[in-house]
Structure 1
Amino acid sequence: MHPEFEERQPDWRDSVQRFEVMLKNQERQFFDLDTYEHIVEHYIGEGNWERALQACDFGLEHFPYSLELMLDKAHLLAQNQRFDESLEILDRAALFNPHDLDVLFMQGGVYSMMGEYDQSVEVYEQMLLYIEEEEKDDILFQMGQAYQNGGKYEEAIEQYKKALQYNLDNENALYELAFCLEITGQLESSIDFYNELIDRDPYSHNAWYNLGIVYSKLGQYQDALQAYDYATVIKEDFASAYFNMANAYMNLERYKEANEKYLLTLRNETPTSDLYCHLAGSYEKLKDFGKALEYYREALKLDNQWDEAWYGVAVCLAVEEKWIESLNCVRKAIKLNEHVADYWLTLGELEYKIGNVFSAIEAFEKAAELDPEYEDIWLKWSLTMFDQGQFDKAYEVIQDGLNELPDNATLYYRAAAYLFHGGDYKEALLNLEIALTLDYSAHEQLYVFFPELEKQKALFKLIEQYRK
């Protein structure tokens, strides 16, 4: 805030009060242009757009050529979706201030809000004729946004790339470029582009960082780690790069290194619930459930509406066999977000643990409805039936799963196990044959369902015949 304005703040508040009295009493008082501008600014800051518009109208009665008031009024009208009136004001402003960049910029924005993206681009192209070189990247970015919003991703990509030619550190352009490249299936081909940017400026931490993002999205995590590492060497406090490094390590199942990078992120960034949950997740993978629980709770201190944190707490409490407490936490997670299959799956397991079989089945059904291709749902749901000796029902659940995942060897092995236990040996052998054909090496999972040594030997001989 400008020091002079800070000193005069009481005067502005007094002016706002006088303006309120004037409106209430339907009087007319004189305010100078500077005061009108600050009254409008005050109401905009409060989110009182109706009163801000009134202040603009009164101000323009006395100062009809005020560019600032015209821009404020145009902005307020556009926010209220009164686009034609907004453009009319901007046309008037342009008449008195030809080629004014603020006027042109707002015109482009209004056209974009109207969905008139081609006209928006035309205005921005006009701006490029008058704007300084060092500011062109922002306008090119806006052109990219207009094309992107209009579904013209190729044109958007072109503008974002041009923006980066002017300013390699335009983070918005880098981010939106990556999004458009991904949505158009050009991620792999974009690697050369990012390498060109790096050749131009090897010390651009943003270029290295975005190259890392591309590699991450392509599943090339080792290459991503190298790119993120360069970014953090150049910018040692680059929290986002450390965070993405941690995610890459998690995908590589290198949980200790992931944990270290999440901690580095925490050291260089204001904590968020999301960061705490990721950090807790790395501790969870390291089987340090005490630490995981600690950080999930830290996440909830920042935002007790964070469903992932409630779910994380539930998982950690379940490890400690605190079934009731865990159940309450997963229910809170579901109340906040009922569209996550994992939440319902865990709810089903917990309900079954405490003996609520019907509630467990309802939860498994909901999980399967949300994500029918999630293998674990069918396995854990059917296991509850098997544990109760309901072999036919267990097999029916697996059959439903096979309708969704017809080439899943694990489901066929499980079907064979249930059928053997149910005494349907012919059907069991058919399912076993299919499972062995799909993935012979996975057959050992069958032995868990036949702990008796004699049965294991018989099963082994049977499986050996199929190998031959």
Structure 2
Amino acid sequence: MDEMIPQLVAAVLVVGALTAYVVYRAGHRDRAHVHRGNFLTGEGEWAEALEAYQEALEINPDSFDAHMGAAEACDRLEQWDQAVAACEAAAAVASDDKFQHISAWEKVGNICDRAGRFEEALAACEKILEIWPEHLSANLGVARFNSQLGRHDAARAHYEHLVQAHGLTLELCYGLGEVYRQLNRPDDSAEAYRSALAIQHERHDPAGHRGHTLMVLGDMYAQFARYDSAFEAYAEAHTCSEDWSAPYCGMGDALGELGRHDEAIAAYRTALKIDDQWEDAWRGLGQTYARLDRTDDALEAFGKAIEINPDFAAAHLGIGQLHTAMGHADKATDALETAIRLDPDGPIAAEARQALDTSARPPSTADE
């Protein structure tokens, strides 16, 4: 029996070595599929990449990298449910390293954000905060997704807490500006956007970035019918880039609301000199001509907008309103119904329905 002990030990060692080798090869085969998936992902071949990651998972169901790779491929293929499931599987097999868990939930948040699934995106951010309460991006996500879900007070409170904890950052300024806008606090919104401009100035950000902030500020003022302030913001945005048509279009809108129609027309015409395919400038030009009772010019301008973008609801609305005023019931109905179809739940549809009711109502007579 003693003579057999060395043979038994040798056999055990051989079996152990073979087992280790098989495990080693299996691990490398799983990694080979992951590497192939990563290469195909870099080439933009998402379906093929997904197949490679799935082959890796058949070999090693606990491969964190394969689950995350599959999530990325499904995300790119807009297979949202499968993408989220892959991230959740990655989180389930993640090591004790908290950063693996965080990266999986970050991916869930990004996927759900793109898919418009804001409740799930919010829940993913909250998962991250359970792991790392100071995680800035997740905190910003909680505030932003609350705002997306219409919980503006909750978003405001979270943004203000972050300002106290981290000081003002550009992203916090934008977030506060939008949430104050939603809460009908234009002065606070303007202060937030002005703080963003100050940060951009201090950082020497490109002029175009500052121009974008000024356009957002102008849009906010216009929403609250502060057209003088809106005009000033758009005019300042124009100084950031003279070859940018959007500020001229904004100036035209503000000038039109202020009754300065000739100046509005000049602003729209300048926008169109820069970009004659800017449908919103044609829309603004049409509205201004309509205010001046220049019906033919207005119809032509709205028609140009529709040539550029056949799904431009505001231009169809403008044509419908003009035909309503002229008593052209059939043409009015066609244009207004198109506007409603293109913007069924928005303000354009509300105006179109009101005009449609007017066009369908029989004209009054002197005897009535």
Q: TM-score range by the shorter chain?
A: 0.5 to 0.7
Deviation per CA, 1:58-85: give whole Å up to 9, x if none.
xxxxxxxxxxxxxxxxxxxxxxxxxxxx
Residue in 2 that maps onto 1:166:
98
Determine which structure has greater relative contact order: mean sequence separation of CA pairs < 8 Å that are 6+ residues apart, divided by chain length.
Answer: 2
Match of 2:333 in 1: 399
1:187 is matched with 118
Superposition deviation, residue 158 in structure 1: 4.2
Structure 1: 5+ residue runs without aligned partners? 1-97, 427-454, 460-468
| 1:346-385 correspondence runs (5 A) | 346-352=284-290, 357-367=295-305, 370=309, 374=313, 377=315, 380-381=318-319, 384=322
For the residues of structure 1 that align with 2:135 and 2:306, how far apart are their CA atoms?
46
CA RMSD of aligned residues (A): 4.6
Q: Provide Cα deviations, 1:382-427, integer angstroms capped at 9, x if missing partner.
A: 55567xxx6313x44542345343996755654565677xx7349x
Describe the shift of the 1:160–1:266 C-alpha distance in structure 2 as closer, same or farther (beyond 3 A).
farther
Quick one: which of 104, 111, 126 aligns to 2:40?
A: 111
Does residue 1:424 correspond to 2:363, yes or no? yes
TM-score of the pair, normalised by structure 2: 0.65
d(CA) in 2 for partners of 1:172, 1:309: 41
Residue 105 of structure 1: CA displacement?
A: 7.7
1:144-293 alignment, distance < 5 Å: 144-160=71-87, 162=90, 166-167=98-99, 174=106, 177-182=108-113, 186-269=117-200, 270=205, 272=209, 273-285=211-223, 286-287=226-227, 288-293=229-234
For residues 138-182 of structure 1, give each alpha carbon's deviation from its aligned partner in whole angstroms, at most 9, with x where no partner exists. Answer: 8865443223224443342245565798338978973x5334224
Give CA deviations for 1:337-392 in whole Å, capped at 9, x if unaligned: 44xxx433212123456776433202223556747684x65664455567xxx631
Q: Distance in 2 between matches of 1:402 and 1:354?
A: 21
Alpha-carbon distance between aligned partners in 1 of 2:322 and 2:116, rounded to the nearest angstrom: 42
Correspondence 1:8-27 to 2 at 5 A: none
State how far apart, in whole Å, the 1-side matches of 2:331 and 2:187 are.
38
1:205/1:230 contact within 8 Å kept: no
Q: Partner of 1:335 in structure 2?
A: 276
- 1:205–1:331 distance in 2 versus 1, CA, 3 Å: same
With normalisation by structure 1, the TM-score equals: 0.53
User: In the alignment, is the contact (CA less than 8 A) between 1:372 and 1:401 conserved in 2?
Assistant: no
Equivalences, count = 313
Deviations 1:201-242 (A, max 9, x none): 322221111122322332333322233333333332431132
Question: Rg bigger for which structure?
Answer: 1
Looking at structure 2, the residues matched to 195 and 358 of structure 1 have their Cα atoms a distance apart, in angstroms, of 57
